[in-house]
Amino acid sequence: MENNKFGMFIHWGIYALTGVQEQVIARNDMSHEEYDKLVGQFNPTEYDPEEWVLLAKNAGMKYICFTTKHHDGFCMWDTKYTDYNVMNTPYGKDVLKMLADACRKHGMKLSLYYSNPDWHHENGYNSYSTHQWKAVNPSAGDREKYRAYVKNQVRELLTNYGEIYTFFWDIPPKYIDQSMNELIRELQPGIFINNRGYDDGDFETPEREVPEGNRFVRMTEACESVGEQSWGYRENEDYFSIRYLTSSICKIMAMGGSYLLNVGPMANGKIDEKSASIIKRVGDWYCRMNGVLEGHEKDPLGLTTKGKDPFVAFRKNEKTYLCYYAGSSSSAINFVNAPSVPKCARLLNGGETLGLRYETLPAYIWGGRAAGPFVSITGIPVDDYPAEPLVIEIEW
């Protein structure tokens, strides 16, 4: 993706009515007949996509990825290829079009998620893949007929809703059909496609994990939800801490990746107060980073320190940035191999100017004597930001 970005993932569908989880039909072993009754109850009269977009924009996010169809097969747009869609609910409006219009109005990029498993489609069963537990017709899946259905829907999604930033296939089908992504690129030149579809696509998608390392070798978009138990709306959710989320975002983006932070709106169309407050608090930290986590390159200096706190270094606008994603245990950073004493150093969290020194240090010993001299950055107010990863800007 051109320049790594911070984005919002949105899992929304008729499953929100249950307040359990986006895969509730499988996880709670509901019958299809019972689940399908939710279609007649879905009426999100409080849905205001501008609220979603502005929540994301104010948090420093640059794009929204929306679940057009999850594993249940229910389609959240006006599709002519199945009646199992949002137009046949009491609400009866194309919620995707409304979101696309709001994104355009506020300069927000729009990405689309599409599930390969489809538990409602008569030909959706795929014996090669996972997440097939609730397929409505497991004895007679027809891959060719199902792919034709998917292509028809992809053509709708990528023709009727303006420019699309990325396409997020979910659950790899575990067989190759390059014509699927070729169609996507034909309809939306310049789009980026993930690696969970019918070939390797353009970018990797680690989910609910923070990979080891200092720099991604391939375009990467990590994703995590504000809640531990569900991506869709869940009552009595177990929420991740602000520290955990900001640390994950800091490391992924310092490594050159994009990051999608997910919320699951309620059935009425609103994002619940707890989820919204998490987005706002994460966004407060992110906006104080002044955009440095986006569009940078690997720092060429190969800096090492005497401390044990992990960090990722990157370079932007001829400045070095140190991302201490797990925080710092000390008010100083003592470099082993700094090229010189910096001209200045600043903590982005609060904008504080930090101290600089070049001297021997008694805690480090060589031949029984204090070792050094070491280039050091000092006076870091670590205790002022106990719940945040620290990002330090260095100008040499």
Is the predicted pLDDT of residue 2 greater than 80, yes or no?
Answer: no
Arithmetic mean of pLDDT, 317-332: 97
- Evaluate whether residue 184 is within a structural domain: yes
Give tens-digit pLDDT for 185-195: 999 999 999 99
Q: Could you tell me the CATH number of the domain that includes residue 387? A: 2.60.40.1180
Q: Which residue do the tokens 């994990």 mark?
A: 209
Residues 212 and 142 in one domain: yes
End-to-end CA distance of the chain: 29
User: 188-207 burial string, b = 16+ CB within 10 Å, else e?
Assistant: beebbbbbbbbbbbbbbbee
| Dihedral sign, Cα of residue 183, residue 2, residue 206, residue 10 | negative
Residues 208 and 282 in one domain: yes
Tell me how many domains the chain contains.
2
C-alpha R_g of the chain: 24
Domain boundary among 287, 314, 346: 287
Q: Which residue do the tokens 């939800």 mark?
A: 225
* 314: containing domain: 297-395
Angle (CA) 59 232 181, round 5°: 85
Residue 75's φ and ψ, nearest 5 degrees, are -100, 130
Domain boundary among 287, 305, 328: 287
Are the CB atoms for 223 and 260 separated by under 8 Å?
yes
Q: What is the pLDDT, as a whole number, of residue 49? A: 98
What's the rounded Cα separation, in Å, for the pair 231 and 23? Answer: 9
Q: Which pair of tokens denotes residue 200?
A: 């390797």
- Evaluate whether residue 1 is within a structural domain: no
Categorize the per-residue pLDDT at 54 as very low, low, confident or very high, splitting at 50, 70 and 90.
Answer: very high
Categorize the per-residue pLDDT at 3 as very low, low, confident or very high, splitting at 50, 70 and 90.
Answer: confident
Residues 273 and 338 in one domain: no
The SS3 assignment for 239 reads strand
Residue 94's φ and ψ, nearest 5 degrees, are -80, 95
State how far the alpha carbon of 195 is from the alpha carbons of 143, 177, 233, 329, in Å: 19, 13, 26, 38
Arithmetic mean of pLDDT, 98-117: 98
Residues 129 and 229 in one domain: yes
Are the CB atoms for 286 and 349 separated by under 8 Å?
no
State how far the alpha carbon of 389 is from the alpha carbons of 138, 164, 299, in Å: 47, 32, 19
| Dihedral sign, Cα of residue 369, residue 375, residue 377, residue 383 | negative
Is the predicted pLDDT of residue 367 greater than 90, yes or no?
Answer: no
Domain boundary among 287, 308, 336: 287
Residues 162 and 278 in one domain: yes
- Evaluate whether residue 138 is within a structural domain: yes
Categorize the per-residue pLDDT at 63 as very low, low, confident or very high, splitting at 50, 70 and 90.
Answer: very high
Q: What is the pLDDT, as a whole number, of residue 329? A: 96
What's the rounded Cα separation, in Å, for the pair 76 and 58? Answer: 25
Residues 282 and 301 in one domain: no
- Evaluate whether residue 53 is within a structural domain: yes
Is the predicted pLDDT of residue 159 greater than 80, yes or no?
Answer: yes
What's the rounded Cα separation, in Å, for the pair 270 and 65? Answer: 17
pTM for this entry = 0.97
Is the predicted pLDDT of residue 140 greater than 90, yes or no?
Answer: no
Q: Could you tell me the CATH number of the domain that includes residue 127? A: 3.20.20.80
Is 300 buried (19+), middle (13-18) or exposed (0-12) by CB count in 10 A? exposed
Is the predicted pLDDT of residue 254 greater than 80, yes or no?
Answer: yes
Residues 273 and 368 in one domain: no
Residues 264 and 332 in one domain: no
- Evaluate whether residue 292 is within a structural domain: no
